[in-house]
């Protein structure tokens, strides 16, 4: 069954170093395109992540993000040089202004530049395995969502195709009626010329074939969005030929209706992987 191109998936990433969140979303796009939002220093993983996504998704704009939400430990640096300077200044102030209070350890720690907490350095290899599992989980959720969209699109498209077949039958019946009517009004040479001029049997056969081809593609398990758009173009071409060959109000109305439905098919094809 076809898949849509709109989806979203998320998963947690947990190691003994960090906790994080993977998010992946997809939107309509003619080709496969990726956008990454990764922590500083993680760009080396882009190609591996892209290949893993492309193995499951063939079409659409993909936005992938990985955020580190928590780090297990922090490195604490004590700037002893700053402590010595603060104590030296305190001693000078105490002497110069006859101060009696003492500078406590608690007071020192609060002073700017004395204690600095640094985030623990985390490298891509340290989280690669957990990140891969998170990506896989998020992808499964996203693909399920795209499959649900595909199911809805297929249902809508089948209704459109059935409507097209009804219009094709109207054209066939009207074409036969026109031939029957004009055969009585024309001599043999005139009628043969007229019959040849409005012969749309080949165009109708091809149009019905493309409708059936569209139905078959809707059942495909691979990416068919571009194929569907191509088939819709061929439908348009055959319909235009029918409209140009037969100048009749009933057939013209049917042609206009079919063109409208083809346009809807092409719009829907833009939503299909």
The token pair at 42 is 């993680």
Q: How far apart are the first and last CA of the chain?
A: 11
27 vs 135: CA distance, rounded Å:
17
Q: Are residues 140 and 237 in the same domain?
A: no
- Residue 29 and residue 108 share a domain: no
**Residue 249 domain-assigned (yes or no):** yes
pLDDT at 74: 65
* Residue 13: C-alpha distances to residues 10, 18, 64, 121, 190 (Å): 10, 8, 14, 16, 79
Q: Is position 171 within any domain?
A: yes
Number of residues assigned to the chain? 273
Reported as a single tens digit per residue, the pLDDT across 176-199 is 999 998 888 989 998 899 889 889
Q: b vs e for 58-79, b when ≥16 Cβ sit within 10 Å of the residue's Cβ?
A: bbbbbbbbbebeeeeeeeeeee
Looking at residue 78, its pLDDT comes to 83
Let me know whether 100 and 169 are in one domain: no
Q: Does a structural domain hold residue 1?
A: no
Mean pLDDT computed over every residue of the chain: 92
Q: Whole-angstrom Cα distance, residue 154 to residue 157? A: 5
In a domain, 96, yes or no: yes
User: Rounded to whole angstroms, how far apart are CA atoms 244 and 268?
Assistant: 27
Task: Give pLDDT tens digits for 43-98.
Answer: 999 999 999 999 999 999 999 999 999 887 666 788 888 888 888 888 888 877 78
Domain total in the chain? 3
Residue 135 domain boundaries: 7-72+124-145
Per-residue pLDDT at 208: 97
Neighbours of 249 (CB within 10 A): 8
On whether residue 205 sits in a domain, the answer given is yes
């Amino acid at each position: 069954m076809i898949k849509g191109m709109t989806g979203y998936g998320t998963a947690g990433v947990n190691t003994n170093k960090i906790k994080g969140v993977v998010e992946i979303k997809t939107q309509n796009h003619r080709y496969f395109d990726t956008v990454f939002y990764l922590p500083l220093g993680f760009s080396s993983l882009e190609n591996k992540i892209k290949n893993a996504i492309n193995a499951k998704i063939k079409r659409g704009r993909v936005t992938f993000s990985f955020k580190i939400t928590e780090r297990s430990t922090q490195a604490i640096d004590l700037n002893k040089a700053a402590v010595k300077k603060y104590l030296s200044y305190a001693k000078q102030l105490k002497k110069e202004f006859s101060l009696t209070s003492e500078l406590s350890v608690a007071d020192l720690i609060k002073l700017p530049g004395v204690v600095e907490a640094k985030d623990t350095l985390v490298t891509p290899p340290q989280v690669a395995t957990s990140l891969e599992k998170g990506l896989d989980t998020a992808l499964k959720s996203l693909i399920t969502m795209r499959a649900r969209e595909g199911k809805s699109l297929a249902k809508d498209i089948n209704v459109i195709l059935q409507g097209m077949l009804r219009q094709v039958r109207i054209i066939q019946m009207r074409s036969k009626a026109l031939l029957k009517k004009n055969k009585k009004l024309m001599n043999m040479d005139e009628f043969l010329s007229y019959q040849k001029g409005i012969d749309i049997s080949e165009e109708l056969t091809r149009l019905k074939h493309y409708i059936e081809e569209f139905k078959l593609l809707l059942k495909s398990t691979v990416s068919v969005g571009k194929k569907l758009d191509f088939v819709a173009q061929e439908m348009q071409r055959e319909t235009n030929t029918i409209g140009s060959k037969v100048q009749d109000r009933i057939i013209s109305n049917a042609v206009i209706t079919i063109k409208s439905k083809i346009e809807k098919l092409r719009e829907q094809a833009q939503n299909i992987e």
